[in-house]
Structure 1
Amino acid sequence: MAQPVVLLGAGRGDVCGEFPLARIAAAHPVLLVGPSPPAPWARPHLTAHLAADPADAERTAEALRGHSPGGILAWSRAHLPPAVRLAARLGLPGLPYEAAVTCADPSALRALLDRHRVPTADPADTEGEPVSAEAVVLDDEVRIVALTRTTPGPAPARRPLRHSVHAHDVLLHNRFLRQSVERAVRAVRLTHTVAHIALRLTARGPRVLDVVPHPPGDLIPLLVERATGVDLSRAAAALATGGLPDLTPTRQRAAAVQFAYPAVTGRLAHLRLDPAAAQEPSAERMVLTRRPGDPVTAASHAEVTDRLAHWVTTADTPAQCEKALRRMSRHLTAMVHPAARVHAA
């Protein structure tokens, strides 16, 4: 029987977390640790929920007594140090503690990369195209299994509007990008982990924005799996339990996701998905993520929780995915009552 995997920080975010959680649950019993009950979408994939504060490694270890976990996985940046402390306390595989602490602090990460002369970009600088390398680190080997291209939204929030993955992306053969990824991984001293390396492609070459040693969000694991066949979520679980993941590509396609944001700030009055969306041949899924009556913020200042819906397409090429995304967008209608303006007396 597969060893249970303990997740820290999962089960309360948006529904984009359901796919990776389901993939892990297909291979391992899943124990969720957190002070709050899991969201309804997460419950079918959990073997148990343990009400404990992950920051308290001693009490969390006590709560896990009798469950015999085989590995610990962090689901967010903030949970990286607690995951490493808990893994060390239970004698399980895990990142070096210094690496977890550094990756949990963007300022410390930037300082470390600069000390190691890894080319970095200021997150406030919007020059160049944002991309990310979806990598698996095995001892000294860094395997880039996919590249994610991101279309940002309007400033100043610049939340992602779209992500796309293509099994034959030309950037996979860009030696400068590969060198930047490998230098970042080695500077942080990552080992045996799935890593999401965010970069910006500038006129001076690739510049590293972030290093995230846990499965990425925003349905990127779904896109990678649909485009290449490589399952990042199960790879992360395999590494967390001391195993070796199967990274053999079995598909050569393209996949993309688009997110819908409100045009104005106010209260959502109407949100409807035309059932005809299901007839789109390239459609993977189309999901509403807010309800009428919810307060929402316009895209220029939105948070991830302000997204109204998302839809995923798969096709042979990125151009075909983009056309399908545009077609699917026509099936969504939304209306927001603008927030009342408050005038100073």
Structure 2
Amino acid sequence: MKTTGTVLVVGSGVQEYREDLLRSAALRAGLWLLDAAAPTWQAPHLTGSTRVDPGDINSLIRAARSVAEVRKVRGVLCYEEALILPAAQLAEALGVPGPSVTAVRNCRDKHRTRALLRDAGLPQPRHALVADLAEAAAAAEWIGYPVVVKPRGLGAGRGVALVRTPGDLRGLFADARAAHWPGVPTYRVGILVEEYLEGPEVSVDGVVHDGRHTPLFVARKLAHEKAGPSPYFEESGHMVSADDPLLHDPALRWVLDRTHRVLGVTGTVTHTQVRMTARGFVVIEVNGRPGGDLIPHLGSLATGIDPGLVAVDVALRTPPDLTPDRTRTAGIRFLHPTEDCRVEHVAVPGAEAAEGLLRSAALAAPGDELRLPPSDFPQRYAYVLCEAGTPTECAARLDAAAGQVRLAARPLSLAPEERAAS
């Protein structure tokens, strides 16, 4: 049932990854989109829209106030990393529910996150904020190789790399400094050098309501080999099981709740990356929005809990329904090229071609150029999404479906100056 009033949606993202969230949110409230382009695929899920640059906070506030003159605006919703800060600033300006600007900055600024969690006594890797290569080299010697270099304010793995030896540092540090993401702020002193922590990494989508964090589901990263001998952190897939024991692990739940309290996060759905180490659960980062890579959709398929509905409920300060109504496993597998190439054709199997296959999609079109990191993030040409009764069965179905994807492509030729240098 829809509530009375309107929820402003700041940005809408890419249809392939975000339409599920928007469709579900529209079941709960009237949605008014504030985005740079006129709606196309978004239109069936909206009550209205305004064209505005969502990264220009002054224009965004003016546009929202124009909507508020004719509609009762009750909340703000945003699930795009580049826009969560303007969305928080908008909610603050309108006096409607939403995460605070301070909380969003605490999550966005990875140095700030590390400092706050360290000061609160939560386990953190040894780390240093550096301004140049000399400082990075000194920090890496102090921490001890291997280390991780990462931009202070980016997401989705952009510029993040594993540095195994001093000889690798110069090039990977330069890649981290050059990485960017439109709409996401950069910093003058903008690179972190961190201790590399051994152990599996998971992500947890959870909701913070009335000051308390509740996990919705855990996504385990697929352990497929990454594209090429790359030191970059490119994810090849995720799997969500409704009965994952980590959901009820008291130590993990405590770390997650304490982390969100320390960062001041409330009234939103978050995506937290956690590494399971010999010293316990260590939070890698907190993203102030639902997970990407269709993880929210996997969670909905596995548990029956709909993150789109949950996100609107907390945006309206309404108690969300967190009751699971199914016990399944759902997974997604991304396919990457092994070298820089120009796509000629991508063929994906239909749902009838593989057991448990719910969705498959080509992510690259003929003529597209796919480049390995650090030139591009992520470099995917297709995905397959499957469900099953158990993780083992789901993994087998993903492998079978992925084996039916076909890529026809030609290697990219080196430019003359690159050939001369090679």
Structure 2 Cα separation of the partners of residues 302 and 260 of structure 1: 15
CA contact (8 A) 1:215 1:233 kept: no
Partner in structure 2 of residue 60 of structure 1? 63
Superposed, which structure 2 residues align to 1:96-115 within 5 Å?
A: 96-115=100-119
CA contact (8 A) 2:330 2:385 kept: yes
- 2:400 paired with 1:327: yes
Structure 2 Cα separation of the partners of residues 199 and 37 of structure 1: 37
- 2:362 paired with 1:291: no
Structure 2 Cα separation of the partners of residues 297 and 14 of structure 1: 22
Alignment match of 1:177 (pick from 252, 261, 279): 252
- SS class of match (2:408): strand
Q: What CA deviation, in whole Å up to 9, does each residue of 1:1-49 have, x standing for no partner?
A: 53322111323x36111111111122222222122344x4434323323
Cα distance change of structure 1 residues 332 and 313 upon mapping to structure 2, 3 Å threshold: same
Superposed, which structure 2 residues align to 1:157-196 within 5 Å?
A: 157-196=232-271
Structure 1 Cα separation of the partners of residues 375 and 256 of structure 2: 30
**Which residue identity lines up with residue 166 of structure 1 in the other structure?**
S
Structure 2 Cα separation of the partners of residues 63 and 310 of structure 1: 41
Structure 2 Cα separation of the partners of residues 232 and 274 of structure 1: 28
Cα distance change of structure 1 residues 5 and 90 upon mapping to structure 2, 3 Å threshold: same
Gaps of 5+ in 1: none
Cα distance change of structure 1 residues 140 and 242 upon mapping to structure 2, 3 Å threshold: closer
- Taking only the aligned residue pairs, the percentage that are identical comes to 31
Give, in angstroms, the shift of residue 301 of structure 1: 5.9
Alignment match of 1:140 (pick from 208, 211, 225): 211
**Which residue identity lines up with residue 10 of structure 2 in the other structure?**
L
- SS class of match (1:172): helix
Structure 2 Cα separation of the partners of residues 17 and 98 of structure 1: 26
Larger RCO, structure (CA 8 Å, separation 6 or more) = 1
- SS class of match (2:236): strand
Superposed, which structure 2 residues align to 1:1-345 within 5 Å?
A: 2=3, 3-11=5-13, 13=14, 15-38=16-39, 40-54=40-54, 55-56=57-58, 57-65=60-68, 66-121=70-125, 124=149, 125=196, 127-151=198-222, 153-154=226-227, 155-275=230-350, 277-298=351-372, 302-304=376-378, 306-341=379-414, 342-344=418-420
- SS class of match (2:399): helix
Greater alpha carbon shift after TM alignment, 120-129 vs 330-339: 120-129
**Which residue identity lines up with residue 419 of structure 2 in the other structure?**
H
Give, in angstroms, the shift of residue 169 of structure 1: 1.1
Paired residues, number: 341
- What's the TM-score once normalised by structure 2's chain length? 0.75
Partner in structure 1 of residue 156 of structure 2? none
* Cα root mean square deviation, aligned: 2.1
**Which residue identity lines up with residue 77 of structure 2 in the other structure?**
L
